[in-house]
Amino acid sequence: MKLTPQQLKDFDEQGYLFFPNCFSEEEIALLRKDAEAILKLDRKEVWREKSGAPRTAFAAHTFNETFRLMAHHPRLVEPLRQVFGEDVYVHQFKLNAKAAFEGDVWQWHQDYGTWARDDGMPEPRAMNIAIFLDEVMPINGALMLIPKSHKQGVLAAGHDTLTTSYPLWTLDKETVTRLAAEGGIVAPTGKPGSVLMFHGNLVHASPPNITPFPRKIVYLTLCAVSNHITKFTRPEWIAHRDFTPIVPVADDALLCYARAHRVAAE
């Protein structure tokens, strides 16, 4: 998948791009099935809410073939190669659950702020690609973005270790209010298989999910190889230390794997 000149312009101006129906339901059915199994595991990579509900699972691509194929998928890798002008590697892989009734808040933050402070990433030449495994609706904890906020650079942040089970470098209310007044707030929603890519400095958050509808999203963080991290303060399964360039799989790799394992859309 190649980005058009207009998409590149929009990304530069707004800080994000949204692609509805990027993956088919047959491909997503395979990923959803494996995601549900992974979130039930008792592993160090699986973090839970204070209630015990699953919050996020790291590095699933290192122990699950389905997610390994996703992390190497050309529809995700090629656009970032295009933006960065070089090969990319997997800096981080998260499966965020946002469980029905119990999915907690993700506070306002910038991802690159964490990558710079905790991992020593030199420049914001890395970004997240979010793949919807469930339908993301306005009511079940949709990701909220502040357009154009990536133009502000790295903003001052405090290390919040108390609000949720996951420590996060968060922005204060005054900063978020100012940015929202300038760029507004959007919350892309869509069917399973939709894809959202956004700049590492784009300010974002998500509210709690108090509905019966779960909202699982995979976040694949790809970084330009020349921009790899220089500090190793976090576990390797959170901030990866293998800077090998990704070699994309075939575009139909997930479909072939799904059909070989007889996983069909429900």
- State how far the Cα of 204 lies from the Cα of 109, in Å rounded to an integer: 6
Burial pattern 22-58, b for ≥16 Cβ within 10 A else e, equals bbeeebbbbbbbbbeebbeeeeebbbbbeeebbbbbb
Per-residue model confidence (pLDDT) at position 157: 80
Q: Is the C-alpha dihedral spanning 127, 213, 165, 168 positive or negative?
A: positive
Per-residue model confidence (pLDDT) at position 162: 58
Per-residue model confidence (pLDDT) at position 164: 62
pLDDT at 134 over 80: yes
Smallest CA-to-CA distance from 120 within 14, 243, 202 is with 243
Q: What's the pTM?
A: 0.91
Q: Kindly report, residue by residue over 51-85, the tens digit of the pLDDT.
A: 888 888 999 999 999 999 999 999 999 999 999 99
Tracing tokens 């981080």 back to the chain, one arrives at: 92
Q: Kindly report, residue by residue over 142-195, the tens digit of the pLDDT.
A: 999 999 999 999 998 877 665 665 667 889 999 999 999 999 999 999 999 999
Q: Kindly report, residue by residue over 227-240, the tens digit of the pLDDT.
A: 999 999 999 999 99
* Fold of the CATH domain 5-235+242-258: Jelly Rolls (2.60.120)
**38-52, 85-99, 133-147: which has the minimum mean pLDDT?**
38-52
- Token pair in block for residue 41: 């595991």
Split at pLDDT 50, 70, 90, the class of 104 is confident
Average pLDDT estimate for 210-222: 95
Q: Kindly report, residue by residue over 182-214, the tens digit of the pLDDT.
A: 999 999 999 999 999 999 999 999 999 999 999
- State how far the Cα of 119 lies from the Cα of 122, in Å rounded to an integer: 9
